[in-house]
Structure 1
Amino acid sequence: MTEIGEGRQSMPSEAQGKTKAKKRYLRRKKERRKHKKAATSKGDKNVKVAESSNVTDSEEEEEEQDSVVTDSPVVRFEGGEGSQKTSEGVDVHDERPKKRRKVDQSEDAKEATPHEHSPEPLTSEVTDRLKSPLPALPSFPLPIHPNAPSKRDLALQGLDPALVHADIVDSSTVLPIADGEEDESTGLTERTRKRLKDLGISELFAVQTALLPFLLPPDVTQRSLYLSYAPPRDVCVSAPTGSGKTLAYVLPIVDILSSRIVTRLRALVVLPTRDLVTQVRETFEAVSKGRGLKIGTATGQHSFTHEQTQLIADGSTRLQGGSSKVDILICTPGRLIDHLNGTPNFSLQHLRFLVIDEADRLLAQTFQGWLAQVLSATRTSHLQSLSAVDGVDRPHHPSPDALSPVSLHLSTEFPEFHTDLDEKKESSCQKLLFSATLTRDPGKIAALELRDPRYFIVKSGAEKADALDVVEKFTIPATLKEQMIVCDSAQKPLMLFYLVYTHNVTNALVFTKSAESTTRLVRLFEFFQSVRQPSEDQGEPRRVVIQSYSSDSPPSERKSLLERFKGKEIHILVASDLISRGIDISHVSHVVSYDVPVDMRKYVHRVGRTARAGRMGEAWTLVEEQEARYFKSMLKVADHLEKVKRLRVSEKDLAPLLPSYELALRQLKEAYSRP
């Protein structure tokens, strides 16, 4: 009993500690009831608010009751079913607090708002629409990448449409020179055809048969020196090296300019090298013999003052129409710019032909923007009247000045009256571009300012006749046989000696990468010949004459070397790329690239020194082992790898030459080590 009494006495003390929470609970409960009564008396609009508050109240009551149950003394179950005992051992009746039943406020709300009308029943159409399934959204295909454009479509982007429709000429086409007064097939005059036969030329090659009828039309008026109202179309020609491009423009220029009365600069031929200038001049002089045409050159080989006296007839009087002693000028671009800027009365306004030979190389040169200056000089926009230049009003008296028809409006002697019927005048200059390749670069083509150009492409008949397939691809003569030898760098001179003495490589051009390597190779070859022992099978070795040809040599010496090589006094000419373009030496049967060319363009121009004009020829390339991959990839890109065969040379083949080669190397080393 004492324990029970002590337990009962301790319970009020614990209850007193919980009275504050109970008081707060009761106080909130009274407030909620007041709010509930006030809410029910407000009408239909507050019914929903009361419902939400009741729900909140019930939730709060549940939370409070949970807290009360938690705060009650801990109870242990002992003994029977209906008895419990607290932690102090006091028995407590098994009476758990019951949760209040939640009142369905939705029913009360319905009863409290009898005046609300029930929603109208749905019609059958609405019911059917609700029961029918919703239409499915339209299905869209998954995004995919567009098809990549074909190579042909990509090639057409930015390409001149005229180049796409270029005239493809079969390289095997040959046309005999006709006899008689007229030749409708080529348009050449009887006098020109007679001169060609005197030179031993009895037939025309493919590029000539295609170009001559275009440049020499049957209508005589189209052959006039001035065509200001109907200017001629420009021409671009792509043909293999040695196919006769030089004669293709020499013949029409000579035929048309032969009708001139007064000497004016009417034909300008721009070439990349001095040696090529000399060769083209010889061709002009041979064809124009007896025509009275005056031909001049400007290459920088002579002094600037000397060239001025050779080109200009009157340099003291200031003439807008210019003054000239020559009808045809053959020059390099650098010297041409010098005369345009520094020679008085040097004018291009009377030009009838502007020829750019080896155009791929010349267009790559940016020396003083030579092309833009030349094209500007052919127009009249850069010309001004003399009074506008020096500010002096000149008296109106006759002068020997002679402007071109397109520049007559600048004359101070005769006023020009304009009417609504005036036709536009343009320069009569016809641009002729020749190269082994045609560029497809839109920027370069636009810089040429071509006027309605026409393209001619000479290709072998066995190849696909499509302009897109040959643009910027390299044309090689069909009669050329190409081979390469892959070797160690230390064996390259030995491989050259092997070709000379085993494959009988004479009448050959050997190309190196620099003038220094040219000189060194020639000295090594001379040492090799001096120490070479005669073989038992072949007896005394034949003597091979070899010389170097490079930019280090003076012009007079280079000219003498070429003459001796043409006369077969020199068997092998070792040269840099100085003469790899345009030089025509008919008896060259072999070309050896001692050093691999840096690009395909140089390779084409090197091998193009042989197999010219339908003759047979062989080209050899000595490739170092570390250069083999690059050289093959270069040929593969140009679609030319299959045409270059590989020649394998064994040590057994080189054994007879090896002792002499090693001895020659020692002598060369001693020669270069001397002070």
Structure 2
Amino acid sequence: MDLFVVKRPEEEDKVIDESGNIARLLKKIEKRKRQRIKHKATKSTIKNVINRTKEARRIKRELKAKLQSSEVQNLTGIDAELPKNDELLEQNEIAKQTELEGFTILGTDKYDKKPKVKRVLPKWLSNPTVISVNLQDLQHKVSNMKCLSKDLRKKLKDNGVKYFFPVQAEIIPFLIQSYQESKLMIPRDICVSAPTGSGKTLAFVLPVIETLKNFVTKKIRALVILPTQDLAFQVYKTFDKYVKGTHLKVSLITGKSTFAQEQTELITKNEVFGYLSKVDILVCTAGRLVDHLKETKGFDLSELKYLIIDEADRVLDNVQNDWLYHLEVHIHQNDFRILNLFTLNKPRPPQKLLFSATLSQDPEKIQKLSLFQPKLFTSIVDSTEGTEINTNLFIGKYTTPKELTEKYIRCSTDLKPLVLYQFIKQEKLKKTLIFTHSTESAHRLSILLQLFFKDQLKIVEVSSRLVTRRRNKLIDDFAKGIVDIIICTDKLARGIDLVGVQCVISYSSPTFLKTYIHRAGRTARAGEFGLAVTILNHSEVHKFLNLLQEAGKNNLEEIVISEEHLELSGEQYKEALQGLKQSVTKESKESVRKVKLTKRKLKTNVRKPTTVIS
């Protein structure tokens, strides 16, 4: 019995299927034939159009040449002599729009360049309050700043401050007025972008002291966050100088003291009232702040009036311990944005004050701070009176003081130390900072220059190789004039206020524009004149000049060091290099000896098992 029945096609069915296939093939052949004919016709049309267009252009050029040679002034009638110009244009347009099997004909169309995308900034960033930074013509007398108390004005005069810088004259009244109106409305947060040395620190120190001095109970009402210990200590000293004579207490937590010592300075415990604050104004680094938020019992920021972030761009880039998240959670910032009967009884959110010479114009970065109706104060180096200021020219630009002169030197890599020596010698430089890219480079360059100048100049190295006390001592000696030249890394480039720096030399080319701005910002401070010089390899010049164009600096002067002077110092250079080699070798052997000695001590300190006599 068959399980499957297979139906086989008859012969007639086969003939029908084959005839159908042949018919379909013939249709395809006919279709392709028509397509080839159409393609040839189109190509012929395009070719004719192109040829006739070329012919028209040639005739036009000949006519123009004839008219110019015969000095004919009447140019009418030229287009009339062109053969069917309108017809050619129409055919050309048809050829442009012709498509073959979904493909656009190439070579007959001119594509417009893509327009540049213009960034659209938030309204508060695109409409800043512009501050001039002309420090040569100060007009705002301290005695006229009536919003400050007489005691503060007297302290300013005692410290030699007779005039306010433009940044201070703009920010101080604004902050004091904002605080006075805070009972009716939440104060606006502010961002201040101004060149280094323009007086930003005093611009927030004075209004904070003025507004907090009338509080009786001790609470942390002002928190100042900085990126480094050195900067925090500098701001702490400024606060400490101006709070004298008031009951305000300023404290510093950066990790230089032990954690337990910092806790005793911040908090005290009372049997009746519990934990009490001993501080009104707290200056700190971000990482140490998080440690106290987590570990210190009774550490309370609920009464905070001011949250000040100095060197804001660097602090925002610092994600150490996720400090911003922990701070926001601690002060319950999100609850303050919704006003109802419950939140009205709570303290108002702290007013945020951001200060930097290179403040980020990236809205995404600033958005992390959840600023409340922010206002931007920014500065321009120069503006002509009576003319409208175009804010698009300086929004997002980094500015440097008007008193700063900027130059560069071009040389080969192997001659950089010799060029540096010759430049210092011919300019008779003192009070100079020299920046290098690493601690090792700073150390070797300091040895080399010491061998060059011997007893002529006092040259020291300031880097992480030195302990903090030694480093601070050398900086103080530099301010007093005992030290002539400091060779350092970029750790000294941020915010440190060194008195009387005449020249800044970048021995290593800065990689980023921010780095250059902060290096150059160590000189030309507080209205003084200064010089910034960068020594570049031949391959670095183009990149460096392009980098400075971002800040609107297009005409830097090049300093040319004479080769004759370099040749005269050739032998001295060889001797100095030999001395450097010997010094480095000696230090290496000394380092090895210390390591061996340390290992030997560890072995001798290991306790041997004692034997017990039974």
Where do residues 159-558 of structure 1 align in structure 2 (5 Å cutoff)? 159-172=121-134, 174-179=138-143, 183=144, 187-217=147-177, 221-222=180-181, 227=183, 230-314=185-269, 323-379=276-332, 423=344, 427-462=348-383, 465-530=389-454, 543-558=456-471
- Work out the CA distance in 2 between the residues paired with 1:512 and 1:276: 20
- Work out the CA distance in 2 between the residues paired with 1:423 and 1:285: 34
Whether the aligned pair in 2 keeps the contact of 1:231 and 1:426 (CA below 8 Å) is no
Give how far 1:381 is off.
Answer: 6.5
- Work out the CA distance in 2 between the residues paired with 1:626 and 1:150: 30
- Work out the CA distance in 2 between the residues paired with 1:252 and 1:472: 27
Give how far 1:292 is off.
Answer: 2.1
- Work out the CA distance in 1 between the residues paired with 2:511 and 2:110: 43
Match of residue 660 from structure 1: 572
Q: Deviation string for 1:156-180 (max 9, x for gaps)? A: 1xx221111111111126333254x
How many residues matched? 476
- Work out the CA distance in 2 between the residues paired with 1:419 and 1:380: 15
The alpha-carbon distance between structure 1 residues 302 and 258, as it changes in their structure 2 partners (threshold 3 A), is same
The alpha-carbon distance between structure 1 residues 315 and 465, as it changes in their structure 2 partners (threshold 3 A), is farther
Query: Are 1:592 and 2:513 matched, yes or no?
Result: no
The alpha-carbon distance between structure 1 residues 381 and 447, as it changes in their structure 2 partners (threshold 3 A), is closer
Match of residue 612 from structure 1: 525
Give the secondary-structure state (helix, strand or coil) at the position aligned to 2:119: helix
- Work out the CA distance in 1 between the residues paired with 2:257 and 2:436: 28
Aligned-CA RMSD value: 2.8
Unaligned runs of 5+ in 2: 1-93, 98-108, 590-614
Give how far 1:588 is off.
Answer: 0.6
Give how far 1:424 is off.
Answer: 7.8
- Work out the CA distance in 1 between the residues paired with 2:508 and 2:501: 19
- Work out the CA distance in 2 between the residues paired with 1:420 and 1:431: 24
Where do residues 112-123 of structure 1 align in structure 2 (5 Å cutoff)? none
The alpha-carbon distance between structure 1 residues 242 and 419, as it changes in their structure 2 partners (threshold 3 A), is closer
Where do residues 20-39 of structure 1 align in structure 2 (5 Å cutoff)? none
Whether the aligned pair in 2 keeps the contact of 1:549 and 1:574 (CA below 8 Å) is yes
Matching residue's letter, 2:492? I
- Work out the CA distance in 2 between the residues paired with 1:436 and 1:422: 36
Whether the aligned pair in 2 keeps the contact of 1:352 and 1:429 (CA below 8 Å) is yes
The alpha-carbon distance between structure 1 residues 476 and 376, as it changes in their structure 2 partners (threshold 3 A), is same
Give the secondary-structure state (helix, strand or coil) at the position aligned to 2:277: coil
Matching residue's letter, 1:274? Q
- Work out the CA distance in 1 between the residues paired with 2:187 and 2:112: 44
Give the secondary-structure state (helix, strand or coil) at the position aligned to 2:309: strand
The alpha-carbon distance between structure 1 residues 221 and 641, as it changes in their structure 2 partners (threshold 3 A), is closer
The alpha-carbon distance between structure 1 residues 260 and 627, as it changes in their structure 2 partners (threshold 3 A), is same
- Work out the CA distance in 2 between the residues paired with 1:423 and 1:178: 38
The alpha-carbon distance between structure 1 residues 491 and 284, as it changes in their structure 2 partners (threshold 3 A), is same
Whether the aligned pair in 2 keeps the contact of 1:265 and 1:327 (CA below 8 Å) is yes
Whether the aligned pair in 1 keeps the contact of 2:142 and 2:161 (CA below 8 Å) is no
- Work out the CA distance in 2 between the residues paired with 1:666 and 1:201: 50
Q: Deviation string for 1:285-314 (max 9, x for gaps)? A: 112221121111111111111111111122
Give how far 1:557 is off.
Answer: 1.1
Give the secondary-structure state (helix, strand or coil) at the position aligned to 1:292: coil
Query: Are 1:645 and 2:557 matched, yes or no?
Result: yes
Whether the aligned pair in 2 keeps the contact of 1:163 and 1:467 (CA below 8 Å) is no
Match of residue 670 from structure 1: 582
1:569 to 482, 485, 488: 482
Matching residue's letter, 1:328? I
Whether the aligned pair in 2 keeps the contact of 1:186 and 1:213 (CA below 8 Å) is no
Give the secondary-structure state (helix, strand or coil) at the position aligned to 1:519: helix
Unaligned runs of 5+ in 1: 1-138, 383-405, 408-417, 531-541
Query: Are 1:581 and 2:494 matched, yes or no?
Result: yes
Give how far 1:630 is off.
Answer: 1.9
Whether the aligned pair in 2 keeps the contact of 1:438 and 1:471 (CA below 8 Å) is no
Tell me the TM-score normalised to structure 1 length. Answer: 0.66
Q: Deviation string for 1:514-549 (max 9, x for gaps)? A: 11111111111122234xxxxxxxxxxx62001111
Whether the aligned pair in 1 keeps the contact of 2:333 and 2:349 (CA below 8 Å) is no
- Work out the CA distance in 1 between the residues paired with 2:441 and 2:342: 67
The alpha-carbon distance between structure 1 residues 315 and 487, as it changes in their structure 2 partners (threshold 3 A), is farther
The alpha-carbon distance between structure 1 residues 373 and 571, as it changes in their structure 2 partners (threshold 3 A), is same
- Work out the CA distance in 2 between the residues paired with 1:295 and 1:326: 6
- Work out the CA distance in 1 between the residues paired with 2:171 and 2:320: 30
Match of residue 41 from structure 1: none
- Work out the CA distance in 2 between the residues paired with 1:653 and 1:421: 78
Give how far 1:481 is off.
Answer: 0.6
Where do residues 19-58 of structure 1 align in structure 2 (5 Å cutoff)? none
Give how far 1:220 is off.
Answer: 7.7
Give the secondary-structure state (helix, strand or coil) at the position aligned to 1:583: coil
Whether the aligned pair in 1 keeps the contact of 2:225 and 2:309 (CA below 8 Å) is yes
Q: Deviation string for 1:103-128 (max 9, x for gaps)? A: xxxxxxxxxxxxxxxxxxxxxxxxxx
Match of residue 133 from structure 1: none
Q: Which has the higher helix share?
A: 2
- Work out the CA distance in 2 between the residues paired with 1:454 and 1:598: 31
Give the secondary-structure state (helix, strand or coil) at the position aligned to 1:552: coil
Matching residue's letter, 1:354? L
The alpha-carbon distance between structure 1 residues 583 and 421, as it changes in their structure 2 partners (threshold 3 A), is closer
- Work out the CA distance in 1 between the residues paired with 2:357 and 2:169: 17
The alpha-carbon distance between structure 1 residues 525 and 155, as it changes in their structure 2 partners (threshold 3 A), is same
